[in-house]
């Protein structure tokens, strides 16, 4: 057979092609202009060559950075920072920039399945009606035998699950995320409560500080709100023409932040508390302040022996900090993961009070957001309940506990004792494979929702999610699945959740914001909703940071046992 194409054949083929194109581009349903399909399955007529932009929120970590997603022919092309967003102001970290990798990951779970635990090859596809029926029957179990384990995002799902648990009488959902544990968020929150008497995360004004001592707070990489702190770090370094900020990082490992510091002090793990106490004592003495009894028994020689830092160096650093105009001490991350982590955090927060920087430029403020953090004790209690066969139904969303929890906690063993495990995972991770049902949620770029901003913003802020493409596969919003299942539970539950779908639920939750001093207002929810989607969330028009009104040092004197 000849491989050549004659001119006559070519004209015949192009004639047929032109006729087909004429049909496809003729009058059709208006819907085709708003269906955002990936180009792989999109008819040719819909390729306009124009970009469409959507404001949404990065969900690669709980920081809640605002993103602008450029789409073309229904496909998410690039992700950039939302320049108006109060957390990241147009910047993103490498995870945020590459977030569409999750959307287009070929390993995604493409529809609801029932499976033999641990054997994905025996997974049996089910339809969503069957899936909702399974969830309804699970929710109809004895309430005290139901448990929800959720990740750090999204907040609207956490709020909905909390309300469902309250309505049916089940224990409140447990929230866990390895990242928030590594960053020491709950320890910092508790330290702030004990030191400042407020349930709020501290806001460290790095941008206006002159000398910063960071203990384990790896803020250029993954601590609290890395993009917000990286932006502030840029200001700290080069934002002022007259002086350049000086950063000293105390931590055993050379993190990205330590690598960028003027000085990295590689201390021994576990010596953070005694070193922080010694600095407190030396800085108070240098500033002519009374030394708190908590630190009065600490000797520099003991701190040097414990930390591996010479006495001379400790004294020199303390003098340097005490003499600075805007010194700032930041506790976080690995420093708070030690046995004395809470004491380390309290000592360093108090050190800020010793140098009078509370509520001052370059000092410590309190964030206006509602405080919340992973409560590891609640995770341990859940594992105990599972181990004691008190949990008959476990729902898991947004977290992979078989991978993220320490093996010593025994989550795998406990999971085997739960008769029904329902996962909402998007990927076949360890926990999804060990579940009975996997009912995949949409990935973040296909989802509606909101996230409360807890750190990194100088004002109350909610970040919004919206789909930037139509869902690629037969996935369904977990909130929609739960709402549909709850309606089947009975009249009382249906009346408690009268929402048609997830979006209606979110809109109802946003009602208090429509005239709450945001940078936009609206007369009713539908106008508010369009702006909410347009701007990528809602935040107050003015900064609302507050200064701590008091500072209490630790009551006890440390044992200060040098690490073995």
The stretch among 53-61, 402-410, 442-450, 487-495 that binds ligand SF4 (CB under 6 A) is: 53-61
- How many residues are recorded in the chain? 564
Subset of 503-522 contacting ligand SF4 (CB under 6 A): none
What the block records as the tokens of 438 is 């996997």
CA distance 249 to 262: 8
Look at residues 30, 32, 31, 35 and name the one whose alpha carbon lies nearest to residue 469.
35
User: Smaller CB distance to ligand SF4: residue 76 or 482?
Assistant: 76
Least separation, in Å, of the C-beta of 99 and ligand SF4?
A: 7
User: Can you tell me the distance from the alpha carbon of 128 to that of 111, in angstroms, rounded to the nearest whole number?
Assistant: 8
Spatial distance between the Cα atoms of 221 and 236, rounded to a whole number of angstroms: 16
* Residue 63 interacting with ligand SF4 (CB under 6 A): yes
The interface region with ligand SF4, picked from 54-62, 283-291, 335-343, 520-528 by CB under 6 A, is 54-62
User: From the CB of 538, what's the least distance to ligand SF4, in Å?
Assistant: 17
Residue 96 within binding range of ligand SF4, rule CB under 6 A: yes
Torsional sign, CA 206, 210, 216, 218? positive
Measured from the CB atom, the residue of 219 and 505 that comes closer to ligand SF4 is 219
Closest C-alpha among 134, 104, 93 to residue 468? 104
Instruction: Please say which residue, 57 or 307, places its beta carbon nearer to ligand SF4.
Output: 57
Give, in order, the Cα–Cα distances in Å from 88 to each of 91, 151, 445, 482. Answer: 5, 22, 18, 32
CB neighbourhood size of 75 (10 A): 19
Kindly give the residue spans of alpha helices, DSSP state H, lying in 177-225.
178-182, 185-196
Measured CA to CA, the distance from residue 339 to residue 285 in angstroms comes to 27
Nearer Cβ to ligand SF4, position 92 or 324?
A: 92
3-class SS at 529? helix
By C-beta, is 60 or 340 nearer to ligand SF4?
60
Q: Quickly count: other Cβ atoms within 10 Å of residue 195's Cβ.
A: 25
The residue nearest ligand SF4 at its CB is 96
CB 448 within 8 Å of CB 478: no
Binding segment for ligand SF4 (CB under 6 A), chosen from 92-100, 148-156, 248-256, 258-266, is: 92-100
Which of these, 370, 346, 279, lies nearest to 316 by C-alpha position? 279
User: Would you say 135 or 399 has its CB closer to ligand SF4?
Assistant: 399
Which residue in the set 93, 224, 300, 345 belongs to the binding site for ligand SF4 (CB under 6 A)?
Answer: 93
Q: Which is nearer to ligand SF4, 227 or 445 (CB)?
A: 227
Nearest CA to 85 out of 543, 538, 560, 520 is that of 538
Query: Of the listed pieces 90-98, 101-109, 290-298, 503-511, which binds ligand SF4 according to CB under 6 A?
Result: 90-98
Dist CA 271 CA 480 (whole Å): 49
DSSP 156: H
Smallest gap from Cβ 499 to ligand SF4, in A, equals 27
Give the range of 25-33, 62-70, 291-299, 402-410 binding ligand SF4 by CB under 6 A.
Answer: 62-70
Q: Which of 36, 56, 58, 353 binds ligand SF4 (CB under 6 A)?
A: 58
Task: Give least dist CB 227 to ligand SF4, A.
Answer: 4
- Of 227 and 382, CB closest to ligand SF4: 227
Least separation in angstroms between CB 228 and ligand SF4:
8
Binding segment (CB under 6 A) for ligand SF4, from list 12-20, 59-67, 260-268, 309-317:
59-67
User: How many binding residues for ligand SF4 (CB under 6 A)?
Assistant: 13
Q: What does DSSP say about strands 75-81 and 66-72: parallel, antiparallel, or unpaired?
A: antiparallel
188 is a site residue for ligand SF4 (CB under 6 A)? no
In the complex, the smallest distance separating the C-beta of residue 63 from ligand SF4, rounded to whole angstroms, is 4
Determine the straight-line distance between the first and last CA of the chain, rounded to whole angstroms: 82
Taking the C-alpha atoms of residue 63 and residue 485, their distance in angstroms, rounded to an integer, is: 31
CA distance linking residue 520 with residue 541, whole number of Å: 8
Instruction: Return the number of the residue (69 or 92) whose C-beta is nearest ligand SF4.
Output: 92
Q: How far is the CB of 442 from ligand SF4 (least distance, A)?
A: 18
Task: Please tell me the distance from the alpha carbon of residue 175 to that of residue 172, in angstroms, as a whole number.
Answer: 10
Question: Cβ closer to ligand SF4: 64 or 368?
Answer: 64
We find the least distance from the C-beta atom of residue 84 to ligand SF4, in angstroms, to be: 15
Can you list the positions of beta strands (E) in 8-48? none
Angle, helix 478-487 to helix 502-510, in steps of 10 degrees: 100
Among 65, 153, 303, 304, binds ligand SF4 (CB under 6 A): 65
Of 92, 248, 387, 514, the residue at the interface with ligand SF4 (CB under 6 A) is: 92
95 binds ligand SF4 (CB under 6 A): yes
Give least dist CB 489 to ligand SF4, A: 35
DSSP 65-86: -EEEEEEETTEEEEEEE-TT-T
Residue 82 CB, nearest approach to ligand SF4 (Å): 10
Cβ 92 to ligand SF4 shortest distance, Å: 4
Give the nearest distance from C-beta 230 to ligand SF4 in angstroms: 9
What are the residues whose beta carbons fall under 8 Å from the beta carbon of 239, sequence distance 6 or more?
207
Half-sphere exposure of 28 (CA within 13 A, CB side): 14
* Residue at token pair 């347009």: 534
Among 9, 118, 17, 99, smallest CA distance to 58 is for: 99
Task: Please state the closest distance from residue 236 (CB atom) to ligand SF4, in A.
Answer: 18
Q: Does residue 61 touch ligand SF4 according to CB under 6 A?
A: yes
Return the residues of window 213-272 that contact ligand SF4 according to CB under 6 A. 226-227
Binding region for ligand SF4 (CB under 6 A): 58, 60-61, 63-65, 88, 92-93, 95-96, 226-227
């Amino acid at each position: 057979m000849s491989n050549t194409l004659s001119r006559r054949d070519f004209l015949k083929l192009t004639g047929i092609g032109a006729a087909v194109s004429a049909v496809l581009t003729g009058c059709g349903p208006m819907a085709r202009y708003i269906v955002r399909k990936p180009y792989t399955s999109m008819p040719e007529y819909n390729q306009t060559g124009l970009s469409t932009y959507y404001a949404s929120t990065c969900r690669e970590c709980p920081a809640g950075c605002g993103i602008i997603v450029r789409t073309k022919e229904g496909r998410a092309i690039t992700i950039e920072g939302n320049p108006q967003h109060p957390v990241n102001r147009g910047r993103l970290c490498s995870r945020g920039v590459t977030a569409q990798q999750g959307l287009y990951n070929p390993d995604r779970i493409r529809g609801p399945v029932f499976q033999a635990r641990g054997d994905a090859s025996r997974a049996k596809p089910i339809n969503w009606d069957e899936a909702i029926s399974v969830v309804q029957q699970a929710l109809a179990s004895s309430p005290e035998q139901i448990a929800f384990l959720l990740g750090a995002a999204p907040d609207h799902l956490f709020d909905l699950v909390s309300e469902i648990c309250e309505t049916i009488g089940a224990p409140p959902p447990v929230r866990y995320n390895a990242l928030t544990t590594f960053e020491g968020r709950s320890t910092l929150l508790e330290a702030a409560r004990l030191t400042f008497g407020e349930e709020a995360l501290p806001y460290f004004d790095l941008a206006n500080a002159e000398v910063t001592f960071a203990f384990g707070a790896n803020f250029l990489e993954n601590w609290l709100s890395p993009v917000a702190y990286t932006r502030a770090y840029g200001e700290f370094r080069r934002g002022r023409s007259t002086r350049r900020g000086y950063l000293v990082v105390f931590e055993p490992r050379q993190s990205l932040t330590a690598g960028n510091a003027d000085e990295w002090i590689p201390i021994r793990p576990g010596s953070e508390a005694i070193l922080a106490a010694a600095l407190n004592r030396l800085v108070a003495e240098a500033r002519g302040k009374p030394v708190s009894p908590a630190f009065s028994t600490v000797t520099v020689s003991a701190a040097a022996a414990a930390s591996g830092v010479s006495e001379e160096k400790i004294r020199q650093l303390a003098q340097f900090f005490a003499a600075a105009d805007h010194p700032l001490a930041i506790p976080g991350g690995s420093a708070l993961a030690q046995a004395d982590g809470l004491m380390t955090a309290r000592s360093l927060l108090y050190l800020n009070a010793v140098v009078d920087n509370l509520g001052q430029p370059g000092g410590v403020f309190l964030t206006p957001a509602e405080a919340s953090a992973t409560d590891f004790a609640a995770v341990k209690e859940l594992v105990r309940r599972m181990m004691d066969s008190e949990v008959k139904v476990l729902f898991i969303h947004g977290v992979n506990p078989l991978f993220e929890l320490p093996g010593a906690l025994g989550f795998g063993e406990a999971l085997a004792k739960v008769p029904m495990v329902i996962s909402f995972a998007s990927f076949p991770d360890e926990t999804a494979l060990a579940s009975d049902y996997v009912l995949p949620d949409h990935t973040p770029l296909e989802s509606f929702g909101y996230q409360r901003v807890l750190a990194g913003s100088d004002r109350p802020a909610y970040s919004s999610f919206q789909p930037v493409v139509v869902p690629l596969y037969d996935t369904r919003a977990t909130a929609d699945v739960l709402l549909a299942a709850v309606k089947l539970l009975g009249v009382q539950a249906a009346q408690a959740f009268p929402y048609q779908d997830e979006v209606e639920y979110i809109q109802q939750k946003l009602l208090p914001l429509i005239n709450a001093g945001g940078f936009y207002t609206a007369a009713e929810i539908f106008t508010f909703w369009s702006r909410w989607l347009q701007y990528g969330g809602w935040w107050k028009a003015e900064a609302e940071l507050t200064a701590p009104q008091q500072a209490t040092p630790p009551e006890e004197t440390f044992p200060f046992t040098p690490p073995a």
